């Protein structure tokens, strides 16, 4: 299994970057350090000048890898969803029972991403924290339709469709499998944010609680 993990690679849409960051140590530094900085200060406070300073390089060098910070955020987001998809596939592989599969997928979605299967040895917690806070900004903007067309969200959508299919596998008569899948994936980001910043708008303050909440919701919705 370890070999499989290290040989597989998250395949990120190549139009998200100008030069593949995995192709050089500077590129890897750009991604790793940007994850540190965005995790720490948020995307608004983050810019290429600060990033350049942090890695001891220059703005112009960073611009050779990414057109702008928005694209970099999309790259980081794809990295996250790619890892999540990979883990979901690995974890649910060869599970014959539909409900068990679905629950395993949900549990995986609420877990910390394993960054081992990438070139970037970053803390999965940081990656998830970034996605919790910043992913909504990656698609809530004027050019979302163009970017969606260009495939910048394809990994995210593929994961949602996988989940949707798993839901259909549990109950083929359920009419809202796509909406339910989106609801869960959104929740996997948002409920953590609520716990951190709007404490009494959620009852889930641990991964276990969250899993229980969605398990209950899904079991009742799909089997009653």
Partner DNA sequence: TTTAAATGATAGTATTACTATTAACTTCGC
Partner DNA sequence: GCGAAGTTAATAGTAATACTATCATTTAAA
| Burial annotation 65-94 (CB, 10 A radius, 16+ → b, else e) | bbeebbbbbbbbbbbbbbbbbbbbeeebee
d(CA 44, CA 56): 21
Site for a second copy in 85-124 (CB under 8 A): none
Q: Which does 100 bind (CB under 5 to 8 A by kind): DNA, a second copy, none?
A: none
Q: Which two tokens stand for residue 161?
A: 């469709």
The answer to whether 158 contacts a second copy (rule: CB under 8 A) is no
Site for DNA in 33-92 (CB under 7 A): 45, 47-49, 56-61, 63-64, 67-70
CA distances, 191 to each of 31, 51, 56, 76, 194 (Å)? 26, 29, 36, 20, 5
d(CA 163, CA 150): 23
The answer to whether 15 contacts DNA (rule: CB under 7 A) is no
Quick one: 71 or 128, whose CB is closer to DNA?
71
CB of 68 to DNA, least distance (A): 3
Q: Which of 139, 151, 162, 211 binds a second copy (CB under 8 A)?
A: 139
Site mask for DNA (CB under 7 A), range 137-176, x = bound: ----------------------------------------
Q: Packing angle between helix 98-109 and helix 177-197, nearest 10 degrees?
A: 30
Quick one: 2 or 141, whose CB is closer to a second copy?
141
The answer to whether 13 contacts DNA (rule: CB under 7 A) is no
3-state SS class at 153: coil
User: Given the rule CB under 7 A, which residues bind DNA?
Assistant: 19, 24-27, 45, 47-49, 56-61, 63-64, 67-70
């Amino acid at each position: 299994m370890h070999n499989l993990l290290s040989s597989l690679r998250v395949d990120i849409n190549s139009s998200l970057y100008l030069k593949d960051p995995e192709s050089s140590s500077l590129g890897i530094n750009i991604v790793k350090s940007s994850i540190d900085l965005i995790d720490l200060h948020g995307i608004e406070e983050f810019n290429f000048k600060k990033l350049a300073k942090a890695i001891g390089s220059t703005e112009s060098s960073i611009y050779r890898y990414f057109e702008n910070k928005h694209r970099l955020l999309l790259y980081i987001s794809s990295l996250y969803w790619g890892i999540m998809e990979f883990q979901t596939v690995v974890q649910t592989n060869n599970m014959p029972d539909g409900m068990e599969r679905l629950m395993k997928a949900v549990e995986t979605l609420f877990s910390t991403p394993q960054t081992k299967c990438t070139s970037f040895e970053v803390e999965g917690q940081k990656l998830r924290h970034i996605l919790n806070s910043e992913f909504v900004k990656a698609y809530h903007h004027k050019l979302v339709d163009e970017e969606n067309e260009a495939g910048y969200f394809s990994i995210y959508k593929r994961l949602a469709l996988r989940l949707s299919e798993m839901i259909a596998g549990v109950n083929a008569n359920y009419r809202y499998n796509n909406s339910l899948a989106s609801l869960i994936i959104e929740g996997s980001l948002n409920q953590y944010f609520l716990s951190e910043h709007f404490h009494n708008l959620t009852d889930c303050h641990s991964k276990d609680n969250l899993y229980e909440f969605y398990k209950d919701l899904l079991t009742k919705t799909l089997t009653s």
